[in-house]
């Protein structure tokens, strides 16, 4: 019996009883669509997290003081620590940071201000933070030495303050108010803001202003720095360097276990692994629903074989071989689960965007998941269709013809 005839036949039989077919496929539809949704949302959130970390600057880590009660004055990080580590071999880039967050930036309308995060850094910070310069220049070591009141700002900030973000903003002044007085900073460079959510809603986020750390510490009366951001050179061993840095700081301060290192790459890895475990677990639950769906298909195929015993007898009497009958029922089972899989795929696709819109994640469709879904549903047809098909194939033609 040829394949085309067999498929045509299967279509007739499977779709002649629409409600039963739909109910049978339901398990497969639910299973496949939930797998598609879970994978798409899982991939989507992974991509979102990666993008988030990308803006932090990967390959770099920060050294900070531990947040515990028994901290002594001598433990605090200062510019001295920066000068100490700057000399260390194997360090590619290093910048101390000091952040003053309770300032307000004067906007275009003189009545309006926005929260500003004054971030003191050094020249190396640009590469550590993966910032792209659009106009002007970045902070230099000379700016740091001279404690000059210059700054670099994001294009989004320039837009808010000047109504434009281009060359003409360079050398313009911005005013920052706080209870420590109003400070004036000269804009020397404009950076590209790559944070999509900030670009979309710039008014909802505070503006970050980068200035020489020495100037920020002077203007906002600080002797200490917040932390040190470091990247190591390509040929150095990262873990080894981290160990060396901590030891150097402890020797310098004469203390122990007062500093810790936060690595964005490590964090991203651990978040990703948690996420993939969650995806795997939910995927496992979805797989169980596929299994249940498969059993449903097997059940209905068993019923179908019994109902059509006489038909099987007739087909055998006029010359159908056992393998013809087996193939016929197998194709029907595959058609049943395959169409269920296809429907599940469509529903899952639509559902991904629905759920994505609900939780604010752009779903990422993977070809693997799509091909996998169709493949798995057809495989379920084969796995759970074999037993009923064999039952049909093995029927004795005389008994089958007698069946009422």
Partner 1 sequence: MSLLQMEQIMKRYNQGELEVMALKGINLTVEEGEFVAIMGTSGSGKSTMMNILGCLDRPTQGSYLLEGQDVAHFDDNALAEVRNKKIGFVFQSFNLLPKLSALENVALPMVYAGVDRAVRIKRAMEALDKVGLSARIHHKPNELSGGQRQRVAIARALVNDPAILMADEPTGNLDSKSTFEIMGIFQQLNDEGVTVVMVTHEPDVAQYTKRIVVFQDGEIKQDHPVEHRVIFREGAVQ
Binding site for partner 1 (CB under 8 A): 1-2, 5, 12-13, 16, 310-311, 313-324, 397-398, 401
The distance of closest approach from Cβ of residue 313 to partner 1 in the complex, given in angstroms and rounded to an integer, is 8
Between 216 and 301, CB nearer to partner 1: 301
Between 313 and 381, CB nearer to partner 1: 313
Q: Which residues pair with 190 in a beta bridge?
A: 135, 153
The distance of closest approach from Cβ of residue 19 to partner 1 in the complex, given in angstroms and rounded to an integer, is 17
The distance of closest approach from Cβ of residue 299 to partner 1 in the complex, given in angstroms and rounded to an integer, is 22
CA geometry: angle at 377 spanning 376 and 380, to 5°?
Answer: 85
Between 280 and 398, CB nearer to partner 1: 398
Between 234 and 318, CB nearer to partner 1: 318
Of residues 297, 328, 334, the one with CA closest to residue 311: 328
The distance of closest approach from Cβ of residue 342 to partner 1 in the complex, given in angstroms and rounded to an integer, is 24
The distance of closest approach from Cβ of residue 324 to partner 1 in the complex, given in angstroms and rounded to an integer, is 6
- What span, in angstroms and rounded, lies between the C-alpha atoms of 25 and 20? 9
Task: Write out the E strands in 51-130.
Answer: 60-65, 91-106, 113-121
Q: Which residues, other chains included, contact 172 with Cβ-Cβ below 8 Å and sequence gap of 6+?
A: 162, 186, 187
Three-class secondary structure of residue 235 per DSSP: coil
The distance of closest approach from Cβ of residue 330 to partner 1 in the complex, given in angstroms and rounded to an integer, is 16
The distance of closest approach from Cβ of residue 31 to partner 1 in the complex, given in angstroms and rounded to an integer, is 30
- What span, in angstroms and rounded, lies between the C-alpha atoms of 264 and 163? 34
Q: Which residues, other chains included, contact 106 with Cβ-Cβ below 8 Å and sequence gap of 6+?
A: 112, 113, 161, 174, 175, 176, 177
Chain centroid to Cα 110, Å, comes to 40
Between 7 and 267, CB nearer to partner 1: 7
Between 3 and 234, CB nearer to partner 1: 3
Between 67 and 319, CB nearer to partner 1: 319
Task: Give me 195's structure tokens.
Answer: 């944070």
Instruction: Name the helix (H) or strand (E) containing 103.
Output: strand 91-106
Chain centroid to Cα 155, Å, comes to 26
């Amino acid at each position: 019996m040829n394949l085309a005839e067999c498929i045509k036949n299967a279509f007739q039989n499977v779709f002649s009883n629409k409600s039963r077919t739909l109910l049978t496929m339901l398990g497969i539809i639910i299973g496949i669509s939930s797998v598609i949704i879970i994978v798409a949302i899982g991939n989507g959130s992974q991509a979102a997290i990666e993008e988030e970390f990308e803006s932090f600057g990967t390959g770099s880590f920060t050294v900070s003081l531990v947040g515990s009660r028994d901290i002594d004055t001598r433990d605090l990080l200062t510019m001295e620590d920066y000068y100490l580590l700057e000399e260390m071999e194997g360090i590619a880039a290093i910048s101390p940071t000091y952040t003053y967050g309770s300032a307000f930036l004067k906007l275009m309308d003189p009545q309006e201000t926005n929260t500003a995060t004054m971030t003191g850094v050094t020249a190396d910070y640009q590469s550590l933070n993966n910032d792209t310069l659009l106009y002007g220049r970045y902070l230099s070591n000379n700016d740091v030495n001279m404690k000059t009141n210059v700054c670099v700002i994001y294009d989004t900030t320039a837009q808010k303050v000047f109504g434009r973000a281009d060359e003409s903003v360079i050398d313009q002044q911005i005013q920052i108010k706080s209870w420590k007085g109003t400070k004036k900073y000269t804009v020397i460079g404009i950076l590209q803001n790559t944070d999509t959510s900030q670009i979309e809603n710039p008014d909802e986020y505070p503006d970050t202003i980068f200035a020489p750390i020495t100037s920020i510490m002077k203007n906002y009366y600080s002797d200490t720095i917040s932390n040190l951001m470091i990247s190591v050179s390509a040929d150095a061993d990262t873990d080894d360097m981290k160990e060396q840095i901590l030891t150097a700081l402890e020797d310098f301060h004469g203390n122990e276990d007062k500093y810790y290192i936060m690595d964005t790459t490590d964090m991203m890895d651990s978040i990703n692994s948690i996420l993939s475990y969650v995806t795997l677990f939910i995927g496992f639950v979805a797989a169980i629903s596929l299994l249940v769906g498969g059993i449903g298909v097997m059940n209905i195929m068993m019923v179908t074989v019994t109902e059509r015993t006489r038909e099987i007898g007739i087909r055998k009497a006029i010359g159908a071989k056992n393998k013809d009958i087996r193939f016929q029922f197998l194709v029907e089972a595959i058609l049943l689960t395959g169409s269920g899989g296809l429907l599940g795929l469509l529903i899952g696709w639509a559902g991904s965007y629905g759920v994505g819109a609900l939780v604010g994640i752009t779903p990422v469709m993977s070809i693997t998941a799509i091909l996998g879904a169709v493949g798995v549903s057809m495989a379920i047809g084969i796995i759970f269709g074999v037993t009923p098909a064999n039952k049909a194939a093995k029927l004795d033609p005389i008994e089958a013809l007698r069946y009422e």
